[in-house]
A and B are shown apart, each in its own frame.
Chain A
């Protein structure tokens, strides 16, 4: 291979990267109303792509990025729906439930969560780490481990519910109101 082809290939891949970034950006901003938040999601997607690439080969970076970005967009909207604006609540709840940091301090929460994670079945812990710490989409985790996506989802669901349960067992009250 001579130098010319190497340069040409680099250029081609740079152009592909650029095209992917623009497509991602359109994808995200098309779903988000807030442009700043959208840019954050694109950034975060790339961070996760690079992290994942350090450990494993990715055949289709585009598909990976879109899966990650879509999850991040979903997370954003889900958070808005799960946690109604504080102002709305302040009026009609006479006795608001204490917040997490009023019952258990930060260090206590970390300790409880670490213990709960350590006593979790190792496979469940690993799957949850991949989804939450590495930010890898469930479908990718499932493919890497030769499992069905349903099995991966189930592990994550159980892991997350158990973590919350561990905190509640140690005194954190259920904050959600019917």
Chain B
């Protein structure tokens, strides 16, 4: 039996309300499940979540009614396809009420999610976003990390991605957005998007496929060309042109493995260039250090970048 199945069996035993349950032998994982129920951390977590919002009886009935209708219309796959990844949250989508969905990934995890409108989002590790879709618009708030969007074309419902102070507005296209400390980077793979500040429309710049741009210091940087056929973070590659070392460290930290401490400011601002494979952060940084004049040391389970190439520049040896 898989661990999940064992946990479900024990959870079922723990939540049953009939008398007969007391006569049955506790399942193997009963103790583990009981430990969760007895943990005061669960009580606190439940209260915290309850304070964010509860559903009334009417909310639940309306939600189930809408879902029944949706099932009939054949969109069920889209709605239930997100279970375990996130779920539509809070408000229901009675008529104009939006579908809200929260999706996040852990470090080292990547996920492909299909949204209620058929658009697809691929999330890099350590990424978090909220999706709101209603009758008039489709909106994503990228809170952290990086994501690739393949947007279903809908003339009537523009799709907007907000990341930091930057807004990207599209009708149907494929593009990638990377939110880092310093800037928001956009790369367009298909179609075109309008890219700009918080109000999106007016000050925005139209960026077509094969071009990328970034938003930093309250302005859009003039777009530059890139090759859309080249592999990117989705295949563990990174193109560091227009990147500084601090941003590369953020991208590496979205992946699994040893966490890299934020580099000191002098290193963080170091401009980079070239394409690199992201699968071994330690090796990559070690090699770059020799060129850019820094070294990599291990401190407990963290990697630390130190200015100056002197000393034992052998990061891989213990």
Q: Which residues of A contact B (CB under 8 A)?
A: 56, 67, 70-71, 74, 77-79, 81-84, 100, 106, 109-110, 113-115, 117-123, 125-126, 128-129, 131-133, 137-139, 144-147, 153, 156-161, 163-165, 167-168, 174-176, 178
**Per-position contact with A for B34-54: 1 when CB-CB < 8 Å, else 0?**
111111111111111110101
B304 interfacial contact with A, CB 8 Å: no
**Per-position contact with A for B145-183: 1 when CB-CB < 8 Å, else 0?**
000000000000000000000000000000000000000
Measured CB to CB, the nearest residue on chain B to A130 is B54
A122 CB → nearest B CB, Å? 6
**Chain A residues near B21 (CB, 8 Å)?**
74, 78
B288 CB → nearest A CB, Å? 31
A174, B32: Cβ atoms under 8 Å? yes
Q: How far is the CA of A175 from the CA of B10 in the complex (A)?
A: 13
Contacts A110-B44, A119-B86; is A178 near B50 (CB within 8 Å)? no
Partner among A77, A119, A131, A145 whose Cβ is within 8 Å of the Cβ of B87: A119
A153, B16: Cβ atoms under 8 Å? yes
Contacts A77-B22, A83-B31, A119-B102; is A161 near B44 (CB within 8 Å)? no
B248 interfacial contact with A, CB 8 Å: no
B49, A118: Cβ atoms under 8 Å? yes
B258 interfacial contact with A, CB 8 Å: no
Q: Which residues of B contact A (CB under 8 A)?
A: 3-4, 7-8, 10-17, 19, 21-22, 26, 28-50, 52, 54-55, 57, 60-61, 63-64, 83-90, 102-104
A160, B36: Cβ atoms under 8 Å? yes
Measured CB to CB, the nearest residue on chain B to A107 is B41
Measured CB to CB, the nearest residue on chain A to B41 is A109
B45, A117: Cβ atoms under 8 Å? yes
Partner among A78, A137, A161 whose Cβ is within 8 Å of the Cβ of B4: A161
B308 CB → nearest A CB, Å? 36
**Chain B residues near A159 (CB, 8 Å)?**
11
**Chain A residues near B7 (CB, 8 Å)?**
161, 164-165
A164 CB → nearest B CB, Å? 5
Q: How far is the CA of A13 from the CA of B49 in the complex (A)?
A: 37
26 interchain pairs (CB within 8 A)?
A: A78-B26, A78-B34, A79-B34, A82-B31, A82-B34, A83-B35, A84-B31, A110-B44, A117-B49, A118-B102, A122-B55, A122-B88, A122-B89, A123-B55, A123-B63, A126-B54, A126-B55, A133-B50, A138-B15, A138-B17, A157-B11, A160-B33, A161-B7, A161-B11, A165-B7, A175-B32
Measured CB to CB, the nearest residue on chain B to A174 is B32
B29, A119: Cβ atoms under 8 Å? no
Contacts A122-B55, A122-B88, A161-B4; is A114 near B48 (CB within 8 Å)? yes
Contacts A78-B22, A145-B57; is A176 near B50 (CB within 8 Å)? no
**Chain B residues near A120 (CB, 8 Å)?**
87
Q: How far is the CA of A108 from the CA of B196 in the complex (A)?
A: 38
Q: How far is the CA of A71 from the CA of B19 in the complex (A)?
A: 9
**Chain A residues near B63 (CB, 8 Å)?**
122-123
Q: How far is the CA of A164 from the CA of B102 in the complex (A)?
A: 21
The 5 closest A-B pairs by CB, nearest first: A113-B45, A82-B34, A109-B41, A160-B11, A82-B30
Partner among A123, A125, A160, A175 whose Cβ is within 8 Å of the Cβ of B37: A160
Query: For A79, A123, A131, which residue has the most chain B Cβ atoms within 10 angstroms?
Result: A123
**Chain B residues near A126 (CB, 8 Å)?**
54-55, 60
Partner among B19, B26, B33, B90 whose Cβ is within 8 Å of the Cβ of A164: B33
B176 CB → nearest A CB, Å? 23
B36, A163: Cβ atoms under 8 Å? yes
A119, B104: Cβ atoms under 8 Å? yes
Partner among A132, A137, A158 whose Cβ is within 8 Å of the Cβ of B42: A132
Q: How far is the CA of A113 from the CA of B204 in the complex (A)?
A: 40
Q: How far is the CA of A100 from the CA of B33 in the complex (A)?
A: 12
Q: How far is the CA of A156 from the CA of B15 in the complex (A)?
A: 7
B205 CB → nearest A CB, Å? 35
Q: How far is the CA of A100 from the CA of B39 in the complex (A)?
A: 9
**Chain A residues near B16 (CB, 8 Å)?**
74, 153
A176, B32: Cβ atoms under 8 Å? yes
